[in-house]
Chains A and B, each alone.
Chain A
Amino acid sequence: MKSWKFVLSALIAAGFAFGAVGAQAKNKELKIGVIGALSGGGTAWGQGLLHGVTIAADELNAKGGLKVGDTVYDLKIVAYDDQYNAAQAKSAAERLVNEEKVKFLFGPVGSPGALSAVPVTQPAHVIEFVDGYAPKILDNQWKDNSFVFRTGLSSQEFADPMVAWVKKNLSDVKKIGVIAPNDAVGQQAITSLVNRYKSQGFDVWTDFYERGTKEFTPVLLRMVAQNVDLFDLNANAPGEAALLIKQAREVGYSGKIIQAGGAGVNEIVQAIGPAANGFLKYDIVDFDDPRLQPFVKKYKAKYSGIINGLAPQYYNTARILFEAISKAGTLDTTKVRDAIENLQGWDAPIYGPLKWTGKKTYGVAHQILIPFYIDKVKDGKGVVIDTITPAGD
């Protein structure tokens, strides 16, 4: 078994040698870990996360590196694919924390991955930025000395304001239909969403489908028979959401359609074009926001394809981390964690003044508070019609 250690260390040494020769860097290297779905179903999110962090790191490296006290570091991203799977995420986290000795980790995205990575990073005091709606990501046994931050809104934050918006702006809606996949996101988000709708006086009907289904006409017809006037696509992935919209019209549904959660109006519009007109969508980014344009330019210069909403979000997060490290003047994660908490009010590049919330809801104020947007599809394009900032606690 000793040969194991040898082979592994040889590989790592070779990797470093290559890195050193190739980069000819004079600075020391700081490894930043990334875990996300880079293959299989959740790839859009995983790649969004990776691209956002990479752009931030490249930016800083181009300026000479990250200054920590008297030392300057070049940032190096080490990315692992978790295939949106809990066991893989755990294994990736263990590898990053124990082998690569990473102290700062972005991802996993999605509750299964996040929930299995957190027990690995927290005891090791590794700072982690995750996404995923499960409350246990923050509200867990390590919350009194927590090193995990959530830098996107979860359904706990946006569901109430979202429902309030619906009540105010779509006042003639009485009955809401919700069709969701019965995966982790679907089952988690739908229960709380349904309760919120009901508490605001709406009548709600729900049904779930197996992931992988593409033909929704039977269940859509079932919904039509319920005389639903608003169809909420919450928790559906963009591909399925697009199909649901198209097939709903094909089966005779004539009411309004909204997606009160999830990200990415552009993917949907690209998939079904004019059939999406009138569609209302929750979104986490406003691509017309002037604050976003420098990022969009940098993204388009490096990558092709639709920009997933997680890219600007994680760019923002990475910038927060780098700022905190600079302010702390050290790589000691406890001090950096404190610096992140104290960064409250700092003008973050994408979302503006940083606000942490969540002390009451989760027991630790590590939940970011950012605005979200309501898009409407007009003439085949998603246009922001409203901005909402949830109340903190």
Chain B
Amino acid sequence: MAVVEEFAPPAPTAADPASALRMKAVLGALLALCFLVLPLLRPGEFILSLATTLLITAIATTSLHLIVRLGSVSLAHGAFMGLGSYAAVLSAMKLGLPFPLALIVSFLVPAALGLAVGPVLLRLSGKYFVLVTFLMGEIIRLIFVSWQSLTGGSNGIFGIPYPYKAFASHTVFYYFTFVLAALCIGLVARVLQSEIGRTMDAIREDSRLAQCSGIPVLRTKVAIFTLSCGLVGISGALFAYFVRYIDPTSFSITQSLNFVVMNVVGGMYQLAGPIVGTVFFVILPEFLRGYVDFQRIIFGICLVVVMAALPGGIVGLIARLRLLSNKVMGENP
């Protein structure tokens, strides 16, 4: 069942008019350039650290965006991120795999789980799917906590070594993260622009109609879900090597909800949404550090407002304002 059907303005399809597409590409390139240039401005360790966190989170939120564009939401992405973290760290520290292999493992393990449960869970209509992912996330976290011999339990894994000596430099790690983020987000953009993207839109709008048109609905959903889980696994690996200490509390429902908030508040209909949401969500707490409760109140209110009245999130709001200003100016939108 389509999730966003109740709102009158239909979501813009993936096949955007060429000019809007070019505009987005330009904006995306500009943003990438900003990130590329950042270290050269000598901003200091802390800001570099913040930017790295931003990039890692952006990979995770854009991976969730794939599921959102399918018309649903997963409340288990924090747990899948954890799967990627533990998989990477354990394969590197216990099996002695080299870093590139550990990265691949961090993609494969959560993707494999996604592939295994996907066919069963994605049959459920949107609301039940969300509830099931909620429970799944909890079970996975419980396994992290209980399987002490493997994961270190609640005490986690401490002293994760640098992948390579060079990565001890914050700048080197930052650039590496940037490259991976560009690749992952680029992949997501590509998928959304392609034929599959259009299929996803059809499924979101009306899955039964899509099914009747010959679209293999379940297969597409499973494929996208698997990809999404794999990508968030990669962000998990980066997270592990960045903080150098992982424990189950980092992969709880709170983290999953954070990703959802970023997608919803940023904007569920465009790839720019989760990116805007990530920036908003990672930067704002730094200004309100020490006022955690206020942060949560603001995020809570944002969620209510967006779900009640502003389905397109911040990005949608900007788009609407532009439309409005165009109308006022008398130009054609």
Contact = CB atoms under 8 A, between A and B. Distances in A.
Interface of A: 1-2, 4-5, 8, 11, 38-40, 79-81, 83, 85-87, 90-92, 94-95, 98-99, 111-112, 115-116, 119, 134, 136, 140-141, 182-184, 186-188, 210
Given A1-B34, A115-B245, A210-B142, A183 B154 contact: yes
A87 B155 contact: no
B154 A184 contact: yes
A134 B245 CA distance: 14
B250 interface: yes
B298 to A, nearest CB: 15
21 contacts: A1-B41, A1-B43, A5-B43, A5-B47, A8-B47, A80-B290, A81-B289, A86-B156, A86-B245, A91-B53, A92-B289, A94-B45, A98-B44, A99-B46, A116-B245, A134-B158, A136-B159, A183-B145, A183-B154, A184-B154, A184-B247
B292 interface: yes
B146 to A, nearest CB: 7
The B interface, classified by DSSP as helix, strand, loop or mixed, is helix
Given A4-B47, A115-B245, 6 more contacts: A85-B250, A87-B243, A94-B49, A111-B155, A140-B159, A187-B154
Given A39-B292, A81-B290, A83-B292, A182 B43 contact: no
Contacts of A186: 154
Contacts of A39: 292-293
Interface string B290-329: 1011000000000000000000000000000000000000
B9 to A, nearest CB: 33
A61 B44 CA distance: 32
Contact of B49 (A11, A80, A91, A112): A91
Tell me which of B44, B53, B249 has the highest count of chain A C-beta atoms within 10 A of its own C-beta. Answer: B249
Contacts of A98: 44-46, 49
B153 interface: yes
B154 A80 contact: no
Contacts of B211: none
Interface in B125-178: 142, 145-146, 148, 153-156, 158-159
Nearest to B153: A187
B37 interface: yes
A117 to B, nearest CB: 10
Contacts of A79: 290
Contacts of A92: 289
B244 interface: yes
Nearest to B292: A39
Interface of B: 34, 37-38, 41, 43-47, 49, 53, 142, 145-146, 148, 153-156, 158-159, 243-247, 249-250, 287, 289-290, 292-293
A86 B250 contact: yes
A1 B42 CA distance: 11
Contact of A116 (B45, B142, B153, B243): B243
A80 B291 CA distance: 9
A119 B244 contact: yes
A99 B287 CA distance: 13
Contacts of A94: 45-46, 49
Contacts of A40: 292
B244 to A, nearest CB: 6
Given A94-B45, A115-B158, A85 B249 contact: yes
Contacts of B290: 38, 79-81
A302 B250 CA distance: 35
A99 B44 contact: yes
**6 closest A-B pairs (Cβ-Cβ)?**
A98-B46, A98-B45, A184-B154, A187-B153, A183-B154, A39-B292
A86 B292 contact: no
Tell me which of B37, B38, B145 has the highest count of chain A C-beta atoms within 10 A of its own C-beta. Answer: B145
Contacts of A136: 158-159
A11 B37 CA distance: 23
B87 to A, nearest CB: 19
A86 to B, nearest CB: 5
A1 B38 contact: yes
A87 B250 contact: yes
A103 to B, nearest CB: 16
Contacts of B245: 86, 90, 112, 115-116, 119
Contacts of B158: 115, 134, 136
Nearest to B44: A98
A111 B154 CA distance: 10
B247 A112 contact: yes
Nearest to A100: B46
